Amino acid sequence: MTFEEYVAARLPALLRQATVLAGDPHVAEDVVQDVLIKAQPKWARICELDAPDAYLRKMIVNELLSARRRVAAALRRERAQWPAPARNDVDVIVLREAILQVIRTLPVRQRLVIALRFYEDMSDADIAALLDCTEGTVRSQASRALAKLREMAATQPVLEDK
């Protein structure tokens, strides 16, 4: 498969995956473009690995973890506004939006861990291999992220009381 064929077939899926991992469609577009530009010159070798999706996912993760992107993500977190408690009817959409707000403002590693666990259904061992860390680190990052989600739920009494 040539680079052009791969991009034609897989770019939409790469963008969806990157949006989940980045928590932001604009960052995702930026990262995917950078990753493809880096991958193109060595595409022949990447194809030989039989898992170009996995290779590019690793490149996307590394790009998101780069110092430059971490600074940008921190600035976004500082600007982010926590959602006001919803006073509408309790429904799935409201809860989902509230969860999304938390996901978008999580530190990069915490978001990556829960995105890979819940969206990609990856095991903690696979996540650890992908992020170059131990399974214990994966579990602690996931625990912190879930704690923030629970904290968000606790600050939304309207949802529960209604």
Q: Which residues bind other proteins (CB under 8 A)?
A: 7, 11-12, 15-20, 23, 25-26, 28-29, 32-33, 36-38, 40, 42, 45-46, 48-49, 54-55, 58-59, 62, 92, 95-96, 99-100, 103, 114-115, 118-119, 132, 149-150, 152-153, 160
Instruction: Name which of 49 and 84 has its Cβ closer to other proteins.
Output: 49
The least CB distance from residue 136 to other proteins, in Å, is 20
Cβ at position 47, least distance to other proteins in Å = 11
Q: 76: how many CB neighbours lie within 10 A of its CB? A: 15
Please, what is the minimum distance in Å from the beta carbon of residue 150 to other proteins?
Answer: 6
Toward other proteins, which CB reaches closer, 37 or 84? 37
Rg over CA atoms, the chain: 18
Q: Which is nearer to other proteins, 7 or 86 (CB)?
A: 7
3-state secondary structure string across the chain: CCHHHHHHHHHHHHHHHHHHHHCCHHHHHHHHHHHHHHHHHHHHHHHHCCCHHHHHHHHHHHHHHCHHHHHHHHHHHHHCCCCCCCCCCCCHHHHHHHHHHHHHHCCHHHHHHHHHHHCCCCCHHHHHHHHCCCHHHHHHHHHHHHHHHHHHHHCCHHHHHC
Minimal distance in Å, beta carbon 78 to other proteins? 21
Q: How far apart are CA 6 and CA 15, in angstroms?
A: 13
Least distance from other proteins to the Cβ atom of residue 110, Å: 13
